[in-house]
Amino acid sequence: MCGRYSITANADAIRERFAADAQGELLLPRYNIAPSQPAPVVVVESGKRVLTQYRWGLIPSWSKAAAIGNRMINARAETLAERISFNRLLKKNRCLVIADGFFEWVNEGPAKVPMRILLKSKELFAFAGLWDKWMAPDGNEMRSFSIITTTSAAHGLMEPMHSRMPVILSRENEGVWLESNLETIALSAKTLTQYPSQFMDCYEVSKVVNSPSNDIEKCVERMKS
């Protein structure tokens, strides 16, 4: 599962890292991105990578209301080809969801403790994402995305925290996911896998991250022991 994440880099760093042209203004950094909020993604337009901003929480083009997006922040890798909301997007509407960390809440006695998960290198990475375009009744266009998740079974870092984890793409697979013409089954098998636990890390953060209204640096700061 992925219900909150962060991007502490600026737009220039993201553009350089993912070799993408920026489109529109990006309000960065972001310390506590929550569903229904706009967030940076990289898509391909006219054969070029574009860094832009879509709403988190997929609203399928056929939906009658935007509220469905609140239930579609994640998409299971194992069933993408079976779900009407996702199977056509897997063929043509793939994106990179930019991040440098995400949050999970673990049980410690009666309380839930927020943890930030990141790469040991602390570098930017990309979740595998799918996006769609929806026309509101008033004629306004909205583009939104969902983050793909996979099982965390046998994953040394994530399994104790949650049964699901977001698909973090390796650098090699970022291009494969975004630009490949592989058949969807082959594409999924190649790219939608667990990121190796030996390259990941985590630490406890303040409960200030519990509220999605808090988008401040304290959300990503390590709790002092």
- Confirm if 24 and 52 have CB atoms less than 8 A apart: yes
From the list 2, 95, 174, 219, the catalytic residue is 2
Cα–Cα–Cα angle for 29, 12, 124, nearest 5°? 60
Token pair recorded at residue 21: 């042209």
- Confirm if 3 and 70 have CB atoms less than 8 A apart: no
From the list 82, 95, 104, 217, the catalytic residue is 104
Is 174 in the active site?
A: no
Is 2 in the active site?
A: yes
Three-state SS at 184: helix
- Confirm if 32 and 119 have CB atoms less than 8 A apart: no
Q: Please report where in the chains the tokens 């909020």 appear, as a residue.
A: 37
- Element holding 178 (H helix, E strand): helix 171-179
Give the integer Cα–Cα distance in Å for 213 and 107.
Answer: 23
Contacts of 122 (CB under 8 A, 6+ apart): 100
Q: Report the catalytic residues.
A: 2, 104
